[in-house]
């Protein structure tokens, strides 16, 4: 089996191991997000697993599929369509307007996180994967990757969260 075929399996195993740890309690580091009391959506899990398979996909402005490259909203549209059968289209701002607002503390895997990265509200979107981490397609460094909501760059620019599930 090729190494590239093993990467999604290894990432899934790491994700599941990270999710099996103890729940955060008051007094935990600011990096942690108290997990939502609602159960994780089955579609949310599918979205996360599909997204993990796109790690290191090239960034391309306006990109809507992995073969040509993905931008942030194109990545979300592509994953939500393939993994959850949901049509989520438009810019990051359009996607935010159509989702149901949730508090940061209610984030569950598969929900969406939005940032102001271009001095314009709702200019970037990523998919929350759990443990205060999200996957996104940033133009900087040009690859789909995982970052932490607590990273200083994203913590200063976080705007809102939305869900399309339940």
Active-site residues: which are they?
Answer: 72, 124, 136
* Beta-bridge partner residues of 114: 125, 160
Residue 127 is encoded by which pair of tokens?
């998919």
Q: Cα(6)–Cα(17) distance, rounded to whole angstroms?
A: 17
62 burial level (CB within 10 Å; 0-12, 13-18, 19+): exposed
* Beta-bridge partner residues of 91: none
- Residue 6 C-alpha from the chain's centroid: 21
Assign 106 to helix, strand or coil: helix
Q: Cα(166)–Cα(8) distance, rounded to whole angstroms?
A: 26
């Amino acid at each position: 089996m090729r190494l590239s075929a093993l990467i999604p399996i290894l990432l899934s195993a790491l994700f599941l191991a990270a999710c099996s740890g103890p729940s955060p309690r008051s007094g935990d580091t600011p990096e942690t997000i108290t997990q939502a009391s609602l159960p994780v959506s089955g579609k949310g899990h599918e979205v996360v697993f599909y997204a993990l398979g796109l790690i290191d996909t090239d960034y391309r402005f306006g990109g809507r599929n992995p073969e040509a490259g993905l931008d942030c909203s194109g990545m979300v549209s592509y994953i939500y369509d393939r993994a959850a059968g949901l049509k989520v289209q438009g810019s990051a701002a359009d996607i935010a307007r159509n989702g149901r607002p949730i508090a940061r503390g209610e984030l569950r895997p598969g929900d969406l996180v939005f940032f102001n990265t271009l001095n314009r509200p709702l200019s970037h979107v990523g998919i929350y994967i759990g443990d205060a981490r999200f996957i996104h397609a940033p133009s900087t460094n040009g690859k789909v990757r995982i970052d932490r909501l607590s990273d200083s760059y994203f913590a200063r620019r976080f705007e809102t969260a939305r869900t399309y599930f339940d």
